[in-house]
Amino acid sequence: MKNEMDPVVNRVRQSSLITLKLEELYPAEPIATFDLKDYLFQGLILREKDFRQALASHDWEQYRGVNLAVGCSADAIIPTWAYMLVGAYASEIAHDVFFGAHNDLLVAHYRKELQKMDLEAFRDARVVVKGCSDREIPAAAYLEISRLLKPVVHSLFFGEPCSTVPVYKRPKTASESQD
């Protein structure tokens, strides 16, 4: 029977688990979208002359310092040059410009940030990728971090250190099995 005076031991804190919080890689800059559907004639086609005039009079300053997602939410065929024109206007004002919707921007951002990580810092470690966040973390980021960490970690988990879902555990080698 356990003595009621024994101190409570936080075994999670004492464990060798490394918690990786993907929310810390969330873009610091706000995210805005530029939807080409707003520039379609009758919701179907993009007229070059009208589009150029609209872009020339558009308030590009609203995108200063933001990450801008450029896409078209309408089911229309958009000529490639239209994206180039938007990029030409936005690239000197926005922090970064991405093709696609809001989520596409997040996927591209996370892929870029995760590729920059020093994976050796996780060599042979037990890593928990934090599951709960106040931010919108795309599922693609969890897929990418799993792909990147699997070759270096001892084990990989999803969730919180106190409640994890095992994702991967390196198989024991023949020499480890004999110990």
Same domain, 170 and 135: yes
Residues 6+ apart with CB under 8 A from 101: 33, 69, 71, 73
Please indicate, yes or no, if residue 138 is contained in any of the structural domains. Answer: yes
Residues 56 and 21 occupy one common structural domain? no
CA–CA separation, 40 and 51 (whole Å): 8
The pLDDT assigned to 14 comes to: 38
Question: Are 157 and 167 in contact, with CB atoms under 8 Å apart?
Answer: yes
Q: Does 152 fall in a domain?
A: yes
Q: DSSP letter for 159, please.
A: E
Residue 18 pairs in a beta bridge with 127
Domain count across the chain = 2
Report if residue 115 sits inside a domain: no
For residue 141, the enclosing domain spans 11-26+121-178
pLDDT in tens, the chain (179 residues): 555 665 543 344 435 899 999 999 999 999 999 999 999 999 899 999 999 999 999 999 999 999 999 999 999 999 999 999 999 999 999 999 999 999 999 999 999 999 999 999 999 999 999 988 889 999 999 999 999 999 999 999 999 888 899 999 999 876 666 65
* pTM, entire model: 0.80
